[in-house]
Amino acid sequence: MGLLYQDRVRRQVVAALEHGALCVCDLFAKTQGAFPQDVKQALDDLVTEGTVVLANGTATLAAPARPSACPGDPSLALRALDRVEPHPVDYDWRFSPGTIEWLATEFVSRHLSRARWACLGTPTLFVHLRALGFDAVLYERNRSIVEAIRDGRAICQDLTLPVPGRSFDAVVADPPWYADYYKIFLSRASEILVDDGFLFLAVLPRLTRPSACADRLDVQRTALALGFEICEVRPATLAYDTPAFEKRSLENAGVACKQWRRGDLFVLQRVWNEAGAPLVQPDDYGLWQEYAFGSVRVKVRRGSVKKKGALLMRLPEATLVSRRSPLRPDVDLWTSQNDAYRVGDLDLLHRVLRELQAGISPQQLVDELPTVNDDDQASLACLLLNLWNARLGGQP
């Protein structure tokens, strides 16, 4: 029996015992067809290393090991992320504190607390796991978040690009809920996982949008094609905090609700190594330049295009958050508070925001503007004043 195969049988024995103690005869029937001699060998190894306790013919998982060190207070560590307000362009829906804790407890109870973890696009969970002492690395493309975390293990990485030479026992991933993003995250997870490694994947629920059932099916097909097997589906177990931009949109639609968004947790195992096709950037993410004013983030389309019409034309925000919104291509400037504008002179806007960020006051900036009409001056002054207040610590 090859070492690798033996290791896989051991993992399966542990997985079977996660649901409770089993007499050895029953265990033989729950190990995915492995021969009883191989299961017995795996069981003996697990008993010797202290992972399983065997008494009176019944096997039980020993109390799960805690992570090796406990360097920090998780809730304190998470506060660092409050300095970076979620922005719709980043699809930044963050797990609720309860979900973060629940996931960490799940990982511990599945005997994965000493595993090598990769967190793909899950910064809040990464911060919590690190504070608990997990051996985890974060891959996340949002530079503002990575910088706020201040941990050498948080790596600013766009997952459309390969993750160089690493292998992990477990991966947790929460991609933007679109099939093209799932493809990227699943491909990377499959590349960096060891054989039989686990992937914990957040998946959009069936009624997220009209195409959600088809999108879920697509996720499953992609996963299978990349060598994953789906072991468990835990519906509606992942709760999300409602970001400021979504609160605004709900308020504008006259809907009062607090935390409402839930995701399904899929547990997958990479049982086969299947190389995926080359990956491409799914949307216009790379085309935005970001400016920060306090915790408020402003994304402006790169470039210097001039358009006919007003310098700043406010767009209705109600439906913008969805990638399906027909208005999205018109948005040139978008704040994390979900204020969105079409911009007449991008070059001018970039210059003004750079200078505002550097500390030049809105009044001075507006006074020094080249010839623009009174309406343009008034709408720019209003935007700049809001951002200036956010920079000083007040909300816009």
Q: Give the relative orientation of helices 3-17 and 36-49 as an angle to the nearest 10 degrees.
A: 80
Rounded least distance, CB 241 to ligand SAM, Å? 8
Check residue 122 for interaction with ligand SAM (CB under 6 A).
Answer: yes
Q: Which single residue brings its beta carbon nearest to ligand SAM?
A: 121
Rounded least distance, CB 248 to ligand SAM, Å? 18
Q: Are 169 and 107 in contact (CB under 8 A)?
A: no
Rounded least distance, CB 19 to ligand SAM, Å? 27
Smaller CB separation from ligand SAM, 90 or 345: 90
Q: Are 128 and 104 in contact (CB under 8 A)?
A: yes
Smaller CB separation from ligand SAM, 46 or 104: 104
Contact pick of 12, 31, 113, 142 for ligand SAM (by CB under 6 A): 142
Smaller CB separation from ligand SAM, 160 or 190: 160
- Residues numbered 275 to 304 that lie near ligand SAM (CB under 6 A) are none
Q: Tokens standing for 266? A: 């899929």
Q: With left for phi above 0 and alpha for psi between -120 and 50, is residue 208 left, alpha or beta?
A: alpha
Q: Which of these segments, 12-20, 68-76, 117-125, 146-154, binds ligand SAM (CB under 6 A)?
A: 117-125
From residue 94, how far is each of 4, 14, 212, 249, 391 by CA, in Å? 37, 31, 20, 17, 23
From residue 80, how far is each of 136, 142, 146, 277 by CA, in Å? 18, 14, 10, 37
Check residue 124 for interaction with ligand SAM (CB under 6 A).
Answer: yes
Smaller CB separation from ligand SAM, 12 or 142: 142
- Compute the 3-state secondary structure of the chain and give helix, strand, coil in percent, each to the nearest 5: 40, 20, 40
Smaller CB separation from ligand SAM, 88 or 344: 88
The CA-to-CA distance between both ends of the chain, in Å, stands at: 65
Q: Are 298 and 290 in contact (CB under 8 A)?
A: yes
Rounded least distance, CB 109 to ligand SAM, Å? 20
DSSP string, 290-350: EEEETTEEEEEESS--B-SS-SEEEE--TTTTSTT-TTGGG-SEEETT--EEEESBHHHHH
Rounded least distance, CB 231 to ligand SAM, Å? 21
- Residues numbered 335 to 374 that lie near ligand SAM (CB under 6 A) are none
The residues, any chain, with a CB within 8 Å of residue 236's CB and separated by 6 or more, are: 205, 262, 263, 264
Rounded least distance, CB 281 to ligand SAM, Å? 7
Over the window 77 to 116, marking each residue x when it contacts ligand SAM by CB under 6 A and - when it does not, the resulting string is -------------xxxxxx---------------------
Query: Where are the alpha helices (H) located in 226-361, listed in sequence order?
Result: 244-252, 346-357
Smaller CB separation from ligand SAM, 239 or 385: 239
Contact pick of 67, 88, 123, 362 for ligand SAM (by CB under 6 A): 123
Q: What are phi and psi of 311, to 5 degrees?
A: -65, -40
3-state SS class at 321: coil
Contact pick of 88, 121, 344, 362 for ligand SAM (by CB under 6 A): 121
Contact pick of 38, 140, 215, 339 for ligand SAM (by CB under 6 A): 140
Over the window 152 to 191, marking each residue x when it contacts ligand SAM by CB under 6 A and - when it does not, the resulting string is ------xxx-------------xxx----x--x-------
Residues in touch with ligand SAM (CB under 6 A): 90-95, 121-125, 139-142, 158-160, 174-176, 181, 184
